[in-house]
A and B are shown apart, each in its own frame.
Chain A
Amino acid sequence: MCLLASQLWLLSRVLLLIVDQWVPQHDLHRFSYRLHLAILYAALAPEVHPQTPGILENLIHVHHLLFRLIYPNVQITPKLHYYLHLPSILRRDGPTRWICCLRYEAKHQRFKELFLEGNHLNPCKTLCQREENLQALRFVQIPGQLPPDVLADVEFSQLIVLPPQHPLLQMVLQMHAAPLNGLALCERATIDGTLFKCNRCVVRVHGPQPEFVFLTDIITNGVETYFHGELMQVIGFRDDLQLYEVAHTLHQRLTHVRHCATVQALMLWREGNRLFLSDRTSDRSFF
């Protein structure tokens, strides 16, 4: 497959949903792919449950046996053996998501581009200096505030200043002990480099059970940011698709950004009338 790693990550998450109508459930190849996907989710989970490495060992063992069974003539690659070391790495180093090369290689891309157009006398110094200048430009323009690109998003989206008696403002004040000034509604905001849009994306809230909030309002004053939206009802974890099936409810939920478990804006994927979420923190789906 001539796909980039990020493309393959997306394709693997969505492939079972796409081929669900064509490939029967009892197909062993589909079952093997599902196991492989479960291994990927466990390896890329931001948090690791203490029982996960043990379960992952069994998953890998079963997957490799099944792989040998259904692809008897396919040569085994060294990469498949490397899987066996993943549980011990999870135990020793924690979530392997945070030592993954994916983002580092993407960041390295920028340095390679700069290197081609810059001078070659002292490339290390030049690259570091340019990167520092760029970061400084982002953060130092307004000291004590969020980076300018965040403010630009907040400023350029539709801003609605909340009146003192607005129910959303009252809810925020109940959550936050100290009074907050200049709270306003906006439709989109960039937080830690991730763009969140109202009426388009879902965030996951910290808790023992998976809770998802479909964003309808983002409340911010440039320092503190709150998400407000509908609480999604989790119908169940579809094991054959490795996706959460969810539905809209009328319950409202207000949460601070810090209490959101996900670092990504989750997308709602729809097939017919059903809604699905590919949650990358689905570590607990094993239990």
Chain B
Amino acid sequence: MLDDVPFFDLITMAPQDVMHVILEGGLAHETRLFIEHCVAMQYFTLDQLNTAIQDFDYGYAERSNRPSVITVAHIQAPVTTLGNQKGAPFSLSEYNLLSRFNILDDLMFFRGWCSKKKKKLLCVC
């Protein structure tokens, strides 16, 4: 539908956003996995980590962004309930299948944008 809108190129007008893709997406995911791994390997406990995070001197510029306490429930949460992540994850077999037929991008785009903006898109078009 959006392809038919004149003077609007869907690819160039809707670039990826670092905040939603990295900070609230992959990095949040990997931070959780990394802490979970370190706790499992007994490098440190969550109490030690939380104490170190709270006691660290970040400076006045970062005072308002001080991370909150990380609990066991946070690092053991299933993937689908992470942060603000909206799209449901693909399994590995599904990922391989989709990427083989080069339709992964279209499906990602559909899930990421259209499902969220469905009502608005319908109103526009």
- Residue positions of A touching B, CB distance < 8 A: 1-12, 14-15, 18-19, 22-23, 29-30, 32-33, 36, 39-40, 43-44, 67, 71, 74-83, 85-86, 89, 92-93, 96-97, 99-102, 105, 194-195, 197, 200-201, 264-270
Q: Is B58 an interface residue (CB 8 A)?
A: yes
Knowing that A36-B27, A40-B22, A96-B17 touch, tell me 13 more A-B residue pairs with CB under 8 angstroms.
A2-B68, A8-B31, A9-B23, A40-B27, A75-B91, A76-B92, A77-B79, A86-B16, A100-B17, A101-B19, A101-B20, A200-B59, A267-B60
Q: Do the beta carbons of A7 and B27 come within 8 Å of each other?
A: no
- Assuming the contacts A3-B28, A36-B27, A83-B26, asked whether A18 and B18 have C-beta atoms less than 8 A apart, the reply is no
Residue in A4, A76, A197 whose beta carbon sits within 8 Å of that of B90 in the complex: A76
- Residue positions of B touching A, CB distance < 8 A: 12, 15-34, 37-38, 43-44, 48-49, 52-53, 56-62, 65-68, 70, 74-75, 79, 82-83, 85, 87, 89-92, 95, 104, 108, 111-112
Residue in A77, A93, A102 whose beta carbon sits within 8 Å of that of B26 in the complex: A77
Q: Do the beta carbons of A7 and B65 come within 8 Å of each other?
A: yes
* Cβ–Cβ < 8 Å partners of A32 in chain B: 30, 34
Q: Do the beta carbons of B12 and A92 come within 8 Å of each other?
A: yes
Q: Do the beta carbons of B95 and A76 come within 8 Å of each other?
A: yes
* Cβ–Cβ < 8 Å partners of A194 in chain B: 61
- Assuming the contacts A1-B70, A8-B31, asked whether A29 and B24 have C-beta atoms less than 8 A apart, the reply is no
Q: Do the beta carbons of B66 and A10 come within 8 Å of each other?
A: yes
* Cβ–Cβ < 8 Å partners of A22 in chain B: 38, 43-44, 48
